[in-house]
Amino acid sequence: MLLKPAIIPREKRNDFYQCKYDHFKDLTVWMIIITCIIEMTFFVSDCSMVNGFSKETVLPRFLILVPLGLYLYTFKHVSSYKIMAPFSYVMIHACMLSVIWAHTVIGDSSALRETFLVMHLVYVVAGISAPKNLHCFCHLLMAAEIVFAICVNNMSKIDTIVSLGGAGLVSVCVFEVIFENAYAEQYNISKKLEDISLHDQLTGAFNRTKLKMLCMEESNELDYKKAGFILIDINDFRKINENFGHDAGDAIIKELYEIIKFCTRGGDVCIRMGDEQFLIIVPEQGLARTKEIGERIRSKVERKTELEYPFKVSIGVAIYLGGDYHVTINLADKALKFAEENEVNIVVAYEDM
């Protein structure tokens, strides 16, 4: 059961691996730093072996600072697992090659076997934040490095090195598969809970909680420089419930949400604000484009004459330019009320009032 992969939908795999990386990235980066520091401290042992200053191993031991500096700079400015996870393995292989280089120039390979075993543990930590397929591929490259070390150092007890290395490689890869499957189960559970907390159970639209998630930290200011707000209300919804029942009202609400999805883009956010009211946020759109989307929704609702319970909507529009989002919602609500009081089934922009 532990080796059976947990099902992550294809469209959510990038999000899954990004979440996994974000959760464990600090562990990985500290492992890289500590490994590089240990690699450099081995210079003391080199000096003991030659009974003096080991100038031959200065470059192999301390050259690792160059890729480490580049890695830390990239870590600070790049958050994508697609870049940082492979880069972590590049650092591990750089450490491996530095160790092989140092032992080759000093002419003593007695500690290489133990180093190989330690590097398997380093791979365990790196694999926690990386996709398992990437880990297995990169870990297999370690076998090539071991073969290379054997060839350049004329190492003895090759059978022991190969058997221990093979056992370590297989066991670490199996561990990473088991770990990723376990994390995937937790990911699926957390996403289900998040879905329940963020979505309206009748329609699947976002609920009001989504608004806070769109805000910058500890404020009511949305993380948009400009956005169109479209507030939609079903005309005479209370009468529909009274005359045809709440099931009819639910059917109309679901139908309206389907129309909204059809008329909006993937980056637009639809929020169910109340029983018969929806708010659509269209990022980076001005007044003309926002009104056009609202009119498209209104027109499509009007043309849906084949419905068992035909209905119409009124729409209020306002443009968000920053600050407290509640202000823009109130402006769109004023435009909506103006539409309902003067002529239902129209789109009114607050800026045009």
| Beta carbons of 199 and 206 less than 8 angstroms apart | yes
Name beta bridge partners: 348: 316
pLDDT of residue 98: 87
pLDDT of residue 111: 63
Mean pLDDT (whole number) for 155-174: 67
Q: What backbone phi and psi angles, to 5 degrees, belong to 207?
A: -100, -175
C-alpha span between 313 and 347 (Å, rounded):
9
The answer to whether position 22 is within a domain reads: yes
Q: Give residue for tokens 């209905």.
A: 311
- Global pTM value: 0.67
DSSP 3-state of 311: coil
Same domain membership, residue 103 and residue 133:
yes
Diameter over CA atoms, the chain: 98
Same domain membership, residue 339 and residue 218:
yes
Check residues 103 and 91 and name the one with the higher pLDDT: 91
C-alpha span between 29 and 92 (Å, rounded):
11
Same domain membership, residue 228 and residue 190:
no
Same domain membership, residue 180 and residue 105:
yes
Q: Using the 3D structure, point to which of 146, 166, 197 is the last residue of a domain.
A: 197
The answer to whether position 103 is within a domain reads: yes
Question: Would you mind telling me the total number of residues written for the chain in this entry?
Answer: 353
The answer to whether position 159 is within a domain reads: yes
Same domain membership, residue 234 and residue 170:
no
pLDDT of residue 83: 95
The answer to whether position 325 is within a domain reads: yes
Q: Print the domain residue range for 190.
A: 10-197
pLDDT of residue 192: 86
Q: At what angle do helices 81-106 and 132-153 cross, to 10 degrees?
A: 10
Q: Using the 3D structure, point to which of 197, 225, 259 is the last residue of a domain.
A: 197
The answer to whether position 3 is within a domain reads: no
Same domain membership, residue 164 and residue 90:
yes
C-alpha span between 142 and 140 (Å, rounded):
5
Same domain membership, residue 336 and residue 307:
yes
Nearest to 84 by CA among 73, 95, 94: 73
pLDDT tens readout for residues 262-287:
999 888 999 999 889 999 999 988 89
> Residue type for 352, please?
D
pLDDT at 172 over 90: no
Neighbours of 323 (CB within 10 A): 12
The answer to whether position 1 is within a domain reads: no
C-alpha span between 227 and 230 (Å, rounded):
10
Check residues 164 and 101 and name the one with the higher pLDDT: 101
Same domain membership, residue 139 and residue 186:
yes
C-alpha span between 347 and 331 (Å, rounded):
14
| Beta carbons of 280 and 270 less than 8 angstroms apart | yes
Share of the chain above pLDDT 90, in %: 42
Same domain membership, residue 227 and residue 182:
no
DSSP 3-state of 341: helix
Q: Using the 3D structure, point to which of 170, 197, 224 is the last residue of a domain.
A: 197
Same domain membership, residue 31 and residue 166:
yes
What band does 110 get if pLDDT is binned at 50, 70 and 90? low
What band does 143 get if pLDDT is binned at 50, 70 and 90? confident
Same domain membership, residue 218 and residue 112:
no
The answer to whether position 344 is within a domain reads: yes
Question: Angle CA(254)–CA(255)–CA(257) in degrees, nearest 5?
Answer: 65
Report the phi/psi class of residue 107: left, alpha or beta, with left for phi > 0 and alpha for psi in -120 to 50: left
Total domains in the chain come to 2
Q: What backbone phi and psi angles, to 5 degrees, belong to 206?
A: -65, 155
pLDDT of residue 24: 94
The answer to whether position 299 is within a domain reads: yes
Same domain membership, residue 98 and residue 57:
yes
CATH of the domain at 260: 3.30.70.270
